[in-house]
Amino acid sequence: QLPGLNYDFVIIGGGAAGNVVANRLTENPNFQVLVIEAGPSNEGILEEQVPALALNLYAEDSPYLWPYMTTPQVGANNASQRFLRGRILGGGTGVNEMFYSRGSSDDFDRYANVSGDQGWSWDAMLPYFLKNEKWVAPADHHNETGQFDPKFHNFTGMNSVSLAGYQWPMFSRVIQTTQEMPDEFPFNLDYNSGNTIGVGWVQYTIGNGTRSSSASSCLGPQFMNRTNLHVLVNTQVSRVLPATSGKGKTPHFNRVEFSQDLKSALFVATASKEVILSAGAIGTPHILMNSGIGDKKTLTKLGIKSLIDLPSVGQNFTEQPLVPNSWFANSTDTYENFNNETQLDIDLAMWNQSRTGPLVSPIGQHLAFLRFPKENSSIFETREDPSAGPNTGHYELEIANGIGLLTPIPAGGGHFISVQTVCAAPASRGSVTLNTTHPSPFNSPLIDPALLMDSYDLFALKVAIQQAVKFLSADAWQGYVLEPLDDLAQALTSDEALEAYIRQTVVANEHPVGTAAMSPKNADWGVVDPDLLMKKATGLRIIDASIMPYVPSGHSQAPTYAVAERGADLVKATWA
Ligand SMILES: Cc1cc2nc3c(=O)[nH]c(=O)nc-3n(C[C@H](O)[C@H](O)[C@H](O)COP(=O)(O)OP(=O)(O)OC[C@H]3O[C@@H](n4cnc5c(N)ncnc54)[C@H](O)[C@@H]3O)c2cc1C
């Protein structure tokens, strides 16, 4: 039940960023805040809570995802792919794989340099990462010594982060590989220190064996008790609207139009201080363009009245391409056990009883962020290195105790190990644009992540797969790793075969950013200023993953949390 339609702040999107901002603003009892979220409440959804069941959230007709498809991806054999985005209170943090990885110090220093605001540098942002984080013991309470560096963590924040809470037998082999091949695969005690390079123990947004999302952390019962915090779920925003009475030439946005049946009965909520757009890297540019904010020529052609001419809206879409690679494993202790219903029932009973057992962690237990070996670095003699600097991986390996993401289990079944390979700093740039044949604000936009459109990304994935093969060639894996699955075995026969395999199997890593990028004040590109206020307007601020001008070289939820923590401080400073 809403008290009315007038607030100080209206936040569009209850995802990673939106819920942080809602929490921080309602610390001030004088601020009335409304969050509008398209998806349902996160409460009572078992798959959302049990880490290892996260994959069940991705069913074709999932009620917790937007029904998005990409445009045909030229770099991926013209395939249109699903593009997963959370549509639930918590947004991406309610459906994601819970990897907690901040990116490198170089990533943030580059944001500072590109935006002209040192407040986005690593040194300035580390306190915001810490403010958000609550490091907790892993579910099995094992000894964490030597698995993370406490000096880079906070034990008193909001959002639980922990190490894997169940010990699979293959873990020791990963660490043994770092000892056998320290030059190529060095051990990194904590890839969240700013220096990501090496192989480390994975950190997850998990506490007490349960997902910690922005909904369960920032909108927990102790916060929902605040009488100034209001959350409206199952409600989709169509547009932001300018004030009806003029405040001069610059449009002033103070109203948000939304619907609950996605056809009629459009309501309008008013924000006396700011409208904050936190609908994510797809939702945010979509709402902006529907509202007449974007490339004037394109919007006019679609019959949308242009309010602000900002051609960068929806452009610079940056996404990491990922290729899953799987091998048969000589083990009976892998994720494939969850496919056995009896075993799953036993594991679920254990989770229900004590929040322990194999279901307390999602797929993937070790992450490696690595630079190209010397012999591959010569590529930078002829082109610019898209990575942000020496602390930043060119590629990432995600080492998982089961078959790769989306990889069908071979007919004969079996147990598997996979190393998912990611181009961590891609050079391709895509776009989010309006669907010209169905321009209703409630229809999906055209999503083009431009997978492998720049040949560098293909090159990076080739190196990554070759390095994954090398990683598993260490003595540590003798007798454990058997032959690769057929398609990978074929791929490893020639350079052409490897390229064909990558184009056939590449998917988006679900870390989109950049579609409402920040740029220096008065720059002729970008969508928001470094204080995240919309250019050429007043009253409208964007706080979410879309403002990052480059994709962070790790995973995007932790950077988004930090952006939101700083964003909330910027809002508070404006209204102090
Ligand atoms: C399947 C998947 C796996 C991932 N795995 C990881 C991982 O392991 N680690 C990691 O770091 N990152 C991961 N990510 C990415 C991470 O979750 C995102 O980077 C992060 O959630 C982005 O935060 P955001 O606030 O920008 O957007 P979101 O968290 O997506 O929040 C946007 C919210 O706005 C709502 N919204 C959008 N449009 C409207 C509208 N018109 N009206 C009302 N509400 C609207 C959405 O429903 C959503 O709740 C994953 C993402 C996905 C989808």
pLDDT for the residue 405: 80
Verify whether ligand 1 is closer than 6 Å to residue 325 (CB atom).
no
Nearest atom in ligand 1 to the alpha carbon of residue 237 is 42
Report domain extents, the chain.
Answer: 1-98+212-319+427-450+512-576, 148-211+321-425+452-505
Say whether pLDDT at 227 is over 60. Answer: yes
pLDDT at residue 245, rounded to an integer: 64
Residue with CA nearest ligand 1 atom 23: 16
85, 366, 509, 566: which to mutate for ligand 1, most atoms within 8 A of CB? 85
Q: Is the C-beta atom of 14 inside 6 A of ligand 1? A: yes
Exposure pattern of 378-415 as b/e (b: 16+ CB <10 Å)?
eeeeeeebbbbeebbbbbbbbbbbbbbbebeeeeeebb
Q: What ligand 1 atom has the least distance to the C-alpha of 98?
A: 8
Adjacent-strand bridge partners of 419 = 399
Residue 403 in this model has a pLDDT that exceeds 70: yes
> What confidence score (pLDDT) does residue 248 get?
64
Please, which pLDDT band fits residue 438 given cuts at 50, 70 and 90? low
State the complex-level ipTM. Answer: 0.99
Q: Is the CB of 95 under 6 A from ligand 1?
A: yes
Model pLDDT for residues 288-307, shown as the tens digit of each residue: 999 999 999 999 999 999 99
* Residue 245 alpha carbon to ligand 1 centre in Å: 35
Two tokens, residue 371? 């630079």
In this predicted model, which residue has the larger pLDDT, 276 or 262? 276
Top mutation candidate among 21, 35, 37 for ligand 1, by most atoms within 8 Å of CB? 37
Mean pLDDT of the region 515-535: 98
Ligand 1 centroid to residue 277 C-alpha, Å: 13
How far lies 453's CA from each of 49, 244, 428, 429, 446, in Å? 37, 44, 6, 8, 17
Whether 178 has a pLDDT exceeding 60, the answer reads yes
Pairing state of beta strands 133-135 and 308-309?
unpaired
Inform me whether the pLDDT recorded for 138 exceeds 90.
yes
Q: What is the mean pLDDT of residues 433-451?
A: 88
d(CA 165, CA 208) in angstroms, rounded, equals: 9
392 three-state secondary structure: coil
Query: Separation of 303 CA from ligand 1 center, angstroms?
Result: 30
Q: How far is the CA of 261 from the centre of ligand 1 (A)?
A: 22
For the cut 90, the answer to whether the pLDDT of residue 2 exceeds it is no
Ligand 1 centroid from CA 144, angstroms:
30
Q: What is the pLDDT of residue 246?
A: 57
Q: How far is CA 140 from CA 123, 137, 200, 364, in A?
A: 33, 8, 19, 17
Using CA atoms, how far residue 102 sits from 93, 95, 165, 389, 569, in Å, is 14, 18, 20, 15, 19
At residue 115, φ and ψ (nearest 5 deg) are -90, -15
Q: Is the CB of 320 under 6 A from ligand 1?
A: no
Tell the burial category of 263 from Cβ atoms under 10 Å away from its Cβ (0-12, 13-18, 19+): exposed
Residue 410 confidence (pLDDT) above 70: yes
Q: Is the CB of 233 under 6 A from ligand 1?
A: no
- Strands 33-36, 159-163: pairing is unpaired
DSSP assignments along 145-190, one per residue: TTTS-GGG--SSSSEEEEE-SS--TTHHHHHHHHHHSTTTS-B-S-
Taking the C-alpha atoms of residue 160 and residue 5, their distance in angstroms, rounded to an integer, is: 33
Which range in 249-253, 270-274, 334-338 is most confidently predicted, on average pLDDT?
Answer: 270-274
302 CA to centre of own chain: 31
| Ligand 1 centre distance from Cα of residue 179 (Å) | 37
If 0-12 CB within 10 Å is exposed, 13-18 middle and 19+ buried, where does residue 374 land? exposed
H runs (alpha helix) in 170-314: 171-180, 214-218, 221-224, 280-290, 296-301
Q: Is 1 helix (H, G, I), strand (E, B) or coil?
A: coil
Give the pLDDT of residue 439. Answer: 65
Mean local confidence (pLDDT), 66-84: 98
Q: What is the pLDDT of residue 440?
A: 80
Of 34, 25, 13, the residue nearest 516 (C-alpha): 13
Beta-bridge mates of residue 36: 12, 232
- Percent of the chain whose pLDDT exceeds 70: 98
What H or E segment, with its residue span, contains residue 423?
strand 416-423
Ligand 1, closest atom to CA 88?
49
The CATH number of domain 1-98+212-319+427-450+512-576, selected from 2.60.120.380, 3.50.50.60, 3.40.50.11540, 3.20.20.70: 3.50.50.60
Q: What is the CA radius of gyration of the chain?
A: 23
Q: Are strands 366-370 and 395-400 parallel, antiparallel or unpaired?
A: antiparallel
558 pocket-lining for ligand 1 (C-beta < 6 Å): yes
CB 404 near ligand 1, within 6 Å: no
Predicted pLDDT of residue 261: 82
pLDDT for 1: 67
Domain 148-211+321-425+452-505 classification at class level: alpha beta
List, for residues 320-361, the tens digit of each pLDDT value: 999 999 999 999 999 999 999 999 999 999 999 999 999 999
Q: Is 96 in the pocket of ligand 1 (CB under 6 A)?
A: yes
pLDDT digits (tens, 9 = 90+) for 544-568: 999 999 999 999 999 999 999 999 9
Kindly tell me if the per-residue pLDDT of 247 is higher than 70: no
Distance 312 CA to ligand 1 centre (A): 21
Instruction: Tell me what the mean pLDDT of segment 486-499 comes to.
Output: 97
Give the C-alpha separation, 200 to 557, whole Å.
18
The answer on pLDDT for 263 being more than 90 is no
> Tokens 């309470």 identify what position?
141
Nearest-atom number in ligand 1 for the CA of 287 is 41
Report the pLDDT averaged over residues 367-372: 98
